Structure 1
Amino acid sequence: MRRRRGVLIAAALLAQLAAGPSQAVAAGWEPAEQCGVVRGGDGPLGGAEVTLYQAGDGGGGRPRVLGRARSREDGRFTLDYRRPEDLRAVLYVLADFGRERRGAARSPVTLAAVLSGAAAPSELVVNERTTVAAAYALARFTGPGGVTGTYPGLQNAAAIAHNLADTGTGEIAAPLAAPPNGDQTSTMAEVNTLANLLASCVTAGPGSACDQLLDLAHRPGRERPRDTLQAAVDIAHDPGNNAAALFDLAATTPRYGPALPAAPDAWTVALRYDGNGHEVDGPGNLAFDADGNAWISNNYGFDADPLVPACGGRTVLKFTPTGQDAPGAPYRGGGLYGAGFGITVDAKGSAWVGSFGFQGRDCPVDPTGLERSVSQFAPDGTPLSPPQGWRGAGIVQPQGMSADRAGTVWVANCGSDSVARIPDGDAARAREVATPGVHKPFGTSVDPAGRLWVSGNGSDTVQVVGPDGTPGPTVSGGGLNKPLGVATDSRGNAWVSNSGILPVPCGNSSVDDLANAVAAEAGPRPGTSVTLIGSDGTPAPEPFTNGGLFLPWGVAVDGDDTVWVANFGGHRVARLCGVNLAACPPGYRTGQPISPAGTGYTSDGLERNTGVQIDPSGNVWLANNWRTVPIQTNPGGHEVVVLIGAAAPVPAPQLGGPAQP
């Protein structure tokens, strides 16, 4: 057996060296063996060329072939290879039926599985489910030449694939199969339905079912996908394209269940995270650090019972990219109480959180003295601010927060109609900057030039502030109507969400006023829209509507300058074409909805969303801030929701407009 193993390794090495420099194996790497099986909806699949790859580096490297084998009649294969020394290397397997025997039609079937990102199973299963998981998680790193990307986005994406499918069994992965996912949302059934969609081609072989799949997955203006893996990647990129027809095709091959009973409006895959299950209560907003971890503000102290009065949250959450608590999280101290929408990560990796003083009705705590500070945490969660928090600089009921490349941290003082400027993250040098053009400043964003944009929820305006704190122009018009979130794009334009009816509960407004505004929800409200303001401060003549805008709150711009809008109602997120028209479907204009015009991207995993942010892997994170029916003793939602692979990645921390990694 030892002699046979040595022969196999030598043969694999010779084959890889003969294939060219990109397939060569570095001397000294540790020998390894990976057993596996290729399966389709109808059972084992023999005759597949199984190739193990190391993903390429986004700096220009190509994927490297580590080993090859052919699946036997029972679908099994053995890959002998040398394990890369780089512990961050991303490994994935393709089972390709495209190189068929002479005289046979070329098969478009390619199945995939991610090998790295979790402990390698004793036997790797490659099937339709693992292909869906790989296609969505790696959607933003997969192209005609294979998988390539940079740290941390690529590595985190590979790990996230294991949240969708178990590569040791080919079944639904535990995080997707259990609460807060499982039968609590439709995502598990959706992944099974997508697997059935691929099975329609795998089971039929070359022919009409495969042609249908490739035609329906074909993105307008893009090359038609050549195989099942690329078809799944294209669906992840454009989930609203031919959604109903794709469902009909999936229904012809019901191999995996439970499956969806009806067509979705779009094939977005929404995964809920709740950390340890008893910490998330009213997540307000999110910010990512350089490793792609999510720092999350939390309105309330956790209690699963909405009838138990919840006082202000005293913790900041930190989730790993796969949704677990970071070591030691959640973190306490530093004066934190009842955080709202304000959270950011600065250039040195410190997390900053505003103490707004949120608490549920009948909480016995007087929040008056607790709503006047911001808290600072080291990357490991150690509080850097004193027990009463950083105070002064006009900080009263702080909301939106942003950081810039120079190290300045900005705070929107919702209760004092100003912003706080904290240069170089040094709270001792903080000062108040008057913003006379806005009342109830709420959302903030720093543009590529270092300017701060601040929305005025109570004045229907936006104020621009220079990097040094010099007040700039005040913007009005363009449909600004009780604005909330602000996000800037790579060209210095600002995108502002107009809630139309939502009063921020600071100053002379209360949480009850906000609750009354959303009561008796019947549909999108008048005035809900998004305003585009040019980098020169000139708003577009008309705001943008549709695409799923219901009660717009948070806004984020991805690495392609595409705009994402969270909604405080309607269980949906909207996606709009940005200023980079090349990233939009052919013929689209700036502001035109990419998500379905009437619904947006809906999900029963979403509740009332406030914050929305894009991570370095291209996942869209949304905060389930309030429950759908909020009882004011404890109205908080208990999850964050992640749309897997839906957006163009954004480097983190974000310090002035999005960029390509």
Structure 2
Amino acid sequence: MRRRRGVLLTAALLAQLAAGPSHAAAHAAHGRPPAGQHGVVRSGDVPLGGAEVTLYQAGDGAGGGPRVLARARSAPDGRFVLGYRRPEDPGAVLYVLADLPGPAGPRGSGGSGGSWGGGGGGPARLAAVLSGAEAPPELVVNERTTVAVAYALSRFTGPDGVAGPRPGLPNAAGIAHNLADTGTGGIAATLAAPPNGALTSTLAEFNSLANLLASCVGGGTGVAGEACDRLLDLARRPGGERPRDTLQATVDIAHDPGHNAAALFDLAATTPRYLPALPEAPAAWTVALRYGGNGHELDGPGNIAFDAGGNAWVSNNYRYDPDPAVPVCGGESVLKFTPAGRDAPGAPFHGGGLYGAGFGVTVDARGSAWVANFGFQGQGCPIDPAPLERSVSQFAPDGTPLSPPEGWRVGGIAQPQGLAADRSGTVWVANCGADSVTRVPEGDATRAREVPVPALHKPFGAAVDPAGRLWVSGNGSDSVQVLAADGSVERAVTGGGLRRPLGVATDSRGNAWVSNSGILPVPCGDSTAGDLADAAVAGDGGARPGASVTLIRSDGTPVPEPFTGGGLFLPWGVAVDGDDTVWVANFGGHRVARLCGVDLAACPPGFTTGQPISPPDTGYPSDGLERNTGLQIDPSGNVWLANNWRTVPVQTNPGGHELVVLVGAAAPVPAPRLGGPASP
């Protein structure tokens, strides 16, 4: 076998040289020898011969297109060798497409165009990513690796192929390796092990998606025409073009996971090639991965903020303990995760006055991370939190504390919750315990000043709009306050369904979106964490009055009626993606809601602003979710949520222990977020 591979590699390289002398000259000029990648195309354990295999370098930037690095055809045993020149750029994203032979024609042709570029043959197209992990000795291209590519890179496809800006596209390539192992074609270690694996249904769902593609691939007998037609018809998004191949069909499912979910499940069940698979149809085909860090650091993650590299900074309520019956004191670390969900070098970080951080975390224009020290702790902790709940902490990008050991105790900070930063470097603090906002000009804590906001009681969520204005929710006053960039108080907003509001997000046009929990009192001032727990548990068991989202126009005028449905249950965190679509976390119900935003072109045909895109009764559900607070969207289009509390929140230690990521679900957002979203 080793001799056979050597012969094939030599043949591939000779074919490149025959194509033109420039290849050899280029290798010599750059001092880089040709690379050879062995691989195999399979469906389950069945080899797929005759596949046209093409290696691409993805386009760098939204305007760039991919380029072909090598081509080969799989032998009867499915194996192939790609000989190519390594790109000069070590960060280049490389991916492989395998087009299986099949009937030509308008319904089944992969053609030479297609949204992923290249390839001929039928509609059965498989894929794998080479970048983002060490290249395996033998690359496996199968249905699992295809689903991984389609979801992780779903937001970087276009008429000319895969392309996108950094860091979003390279980060997405890395995330694909959390789903499928390209060296074996099996389940990747991240998906296979706790806190994923048998603990959630995501692994079975991932296998079902692979089975869906296998129904078209046909197990080595060529394409299964009827199944392929059925798949391409069902995957077609409302108002969109019919996908031309299995890969694009999976991308379309990732973009609209609630569309035809039950019918797609029925088709997947016809070819149970990958097990375990789902026993029943999901409400939506979202792929939810859980990240647990080092396994002993996350305890009550509150919110998330992304830096310019797409790394996630996470606030943490409590000191870690896996036992909910053990009293825990306030968390004294800020967490930093790589885009692929692993601890960043040196993380978690300590010092700088950290204690019991809540909902407040942000990254400023210089890359510093700021954390609000609310003073959270479990019942039974012997520490008096009063002296510790009056500061914010600041960290350099490498995790070095920039605030003093007691934190920045400036500008009237009291039980701080929401934080926001603008393009000038100014940081804003919502003081839940003081009915005020603290403004830190250009991130200089020595110049911080308190701004009273009498129209607010229990200021909580904070967001900056594209004009630099601050929007702050008042959980205890059913109101929102708008402040000018210089800190002067502008309009106070009431009505529009505002009821126990929590999270605030702004869109590209300067509108504000506010999540209304309806019944949840935040634990500051005259409310306790026990009051919040009682309200949350009561909300789980019955009607949830007021659970909705309010849209406030950029001029401060609320839309008269709030938006409901789409899985809104106990709304908390809210974020707007690069298409101005609105995403909402829930502090109960194990689901995420998605609403049509102000850009109707990004919504299904006929939809109006505020109309739910997620299934009306369930939203996008996942048994990997618990009680979620923070929700944010990264530069790769992944939706991150904080499992803040357990479903049964025992108050000695109610904290959840995971972050949950909906892979490739949203339009990417540049980071850090300094005033409304924008497409990368």
Same fold (TM over 0.5): yes
Identity value in percent: 76
**Could you tell me whether the CA contact under 8 Å between 1:523 and 1:570 is conserved in 2?**
no
Post-superposition offset of 1:143: 2.4
Distance 2:243 2:269 in 1: 21
Q: Which residue of 2 aligns with 1:637?
A: 656
Structure 1 residue aligned with 2:122: 107
Match of 2:385 in 1: 367
- Letter in structure 1 aligned against 2:209: L
2:76 pairs with 73, 89, 100, which one? 73
Structure 1 segment 168-183 matched on structure 2, within 5 A: 168-183=183-198
More deviation in 235-244 or 523-532?
A: 523-532
SS of 1:612's partner is strand
Q: Please say if 1:310 is aligned against 2:328.
A: yes
Aligned partner (choices 574, 587, 600) of residue 619 of structure 2: 600
1:259-270 aligned at under 5 Å gives the runs 259-270=277-288
Question: Does 1:398 find its partner at 2:416?
Answer: yes
How big is the shift at 1:85? Answer: 1.4
One of 82, 86, 99 as aligned partner of 2:85: 82
Q: Does structure 1 conserve the Cα–Cα contact (< 8 Å) formed by 2:410 and 2:446?
A: no
Please tell me whether residue 279 in structure 1 is matched to residue 297 in structure 2: yes
The alpha carbon displacement at 1:3 in A equals 9.3
- Show the counterpart of 1:535: 554
Give the CA deviation at 1:61.
1.5
User: What code does the residue aligned with 1:39 have?
Assistant: R
Which residue matches 1:11? 15
Query: 1:84 corresponds to which letter in structure 2?
Result: P
2:607 to 582, 588, 593: 588
Aligned to 2:57: 54
> 1:18 Cα shift?
11
Q: CA distance change for structure 1 residues 38 and 655 in 2, over 3 Å: closer, same or farther?
A: same
Q: Give a deviation string over 1:395-421, Cα, whole Å, max 9, x none.
A: 000000000001100000110111110
Q: Counterpart of 2:369 in structure 1: which amino acid?
A: A
- Which of 455, 464, 488 aligns to 1:470? It is 488
Deviates more, 1:213-222 or 1:28-37: 28-37
Alignment of 1:478-517 (within 5 A): 478-517=496-535
Who is 1:158 aligned against? 173
Tell me, in whole angstroms, the C-alpha distance in 2 between the residues paired with 1:27 and 1:613. 46
Does residue 190 (structure 1) correspond to residue 205 (structure 2)? The answer is yes
1:248 aligns with 2:266: yes
Aligned residue among 215, 225, 229 for 1:200: 215
Given the alignment, which residue of 167, 186, 199 partners 2:182? 167
Q: 1:15 to 1:233 in 2, by over 3 A?
A: farther
**TM-superposed deviation, 1:58:** 1.6
Counterpart of 1:342 in structure 2 is 360
Distance 1:98 1:435 in 2: 67
SS in 1 for 2:144: helix
CA distance, structure 2, for counterparts of residue 16 and residue 592 of structure 1 = 56
In structure 2, what is the Cα distance between the partners aligned to 1:553 and 1:17?
61
- Contact 1:481 1:498 (8 Å CA) reproduced: yes
Structure 2 residue corresponding to 1:298, chosen from 289, 293, 316:
316
Question: By how many angstroms is 1:8 displaced?
Answer: 3.1
Cα shift at 1:519: 2.2
Is 2:423–2:674's contact at 8 Å kept on the other side of the alignment? yes
* Structure 1 residue 107: Cα displacement: 1.5
Distance in 2 of aligned mates of 1:242 and 1:344:
38
AA aligned to 1:485 is G
C-alpha deviation, 1:626, in angstroms: 0.1
Query: Any conservation in 2 of the 1:98–1:110 contact (CA below 8 Å)?
Result: no
What is the match of residue 118 of structure 2?
Answer: none
Q: Does the 8 Å CA contact 1:30/1:84 hold for their aligned counterparts?
A: no
The Cα shift of 1:12 comes to: 2.2
How far apart in 2 are the matches of 1:573 and 1:158?
24
What displacement does 1:26 show? 10
Helix, strand or coil for the counterpart of 1:496?
A: strand
Q: Give 1:323's aligned residue.
A: 341
> Are positions 1:386 and 2:389 aligned together?
no
Distance 2:494 2:359 in 1: 23
CA positional deviation for 1:30: 3.8
SS in 2 for 1:339: coil
Deviations 1:132-159 (A, max 9, x none): 0000000000223211011100000000
Please report how far the alpha carbon of residue 27 of structure 1 lies from its aligned counterpart in structure 2 after TM superposition.
5.5
CA contact (8 A) 2:178 2:340 kept: yes
> How many angstroms apart in 1 are the aligned matches of 2:598 and 2:455?
27
User: Matched residue of 1:83: which SS?
Assistant: coil
Shift in CA distance, 242/3, structure 1 to aligned 2, threshold 3 Å:
closer
Q: Structure 2 CA distance, aligned partners of 1:405 and 1:99?
A: 53
**Contact 1:342 1:353 survives alignment (8 Å):** yes
2:115 match: none
| Comparing 343-352 and 513-522, the one that deviates more | 513-522
Measure the CA separation in 2 of the matches of 1:372 and 1:184: 39
Match of 1:442 in 2: 460
More deviation in 309-318 or 58-67?
A: 58-67
Matched with 2:112 is none
In the alignment, is the contact (CA less than 8 A) between 2:127 and 2:145 conserved in 1?
yes
Mapped partners of 2:664, 2:330: distance in 1: 33
1:216 aligns with 2:231: no
- TM-score normalised by the chain length of structure 1: 0.97
1:621 aligns with: 640
Q: Distance in 1 between matches of 2:210 and 2:266?
A: 13
Post-superposition shift, 1:362?
0.4
The C-alpha deviation readout for 1:622-653, integer Å capped at 9, x for no partner, is: 00000000100000000000000000000000
Partner secondary structure for residue 220 of structure 1: coil
Letter of the 2:42 counterpart: R
Q: Is contact 1:440–1:507 with CA below 8 Å preserved after alignment?
A: yes
| Partners of 1:16 and 1:65 within 8 A in 2 | no
Q: CA deviation at 1:516?
A: 1.1
Deviation at 1:9, TM superposition (A): 2.2
Query: 1:206: how far off?
Result: 4.5
- Distance in 1 (alpha carbons) for counterparts of 2:20 and 2:96: 16
What CA distance in whole angstroms lies between the structure 2 residues aligned with 1:209 and 1:7? 37
CA distance in 2, matches of 1:151, 1:470: 37
Give the structure-2-normalised TM-score.
Answer: 0.94
1:576 equivalent in structure 2: 595
Distance 2:9 2:642 in 1: 51
Structure 1 residue 523, shift from structure 2 partner: 4.3
- Measured after TM superposition, the shift of residue 31 of structure 1 is 1.3
Q: 1:41–1:202: 8 Å Cα contact kept in structure 2?
A: no
Which residue number corresponds to residue 114 of structure 2?
none
Cα deviation, residue 109, structure 1: 0.6
Change (3 A) 1:25 1:216: farther
Give the secondary-structure state (helix, strand or coil) at the position aligned to 1:341. coil
The alignment partner of 1:453 has SS state of strand
Q: Distance in 1 between matches of 2:305 and 2:186?
A: 32
Compute the displacement of 1:483 (Å).
0.2
Q: 1:98 to 1:45 in 2, by over 3 A?
A: closer
- For 1:194, the aligned partner's letter is L
C-alpha distance in structure 2 between counterparts of 1:395 and 1:16, whole Å: 69
Deviation, 1:207, is: 1.3
Matched positions, count? 656
* Matching residue of 2:131: 116
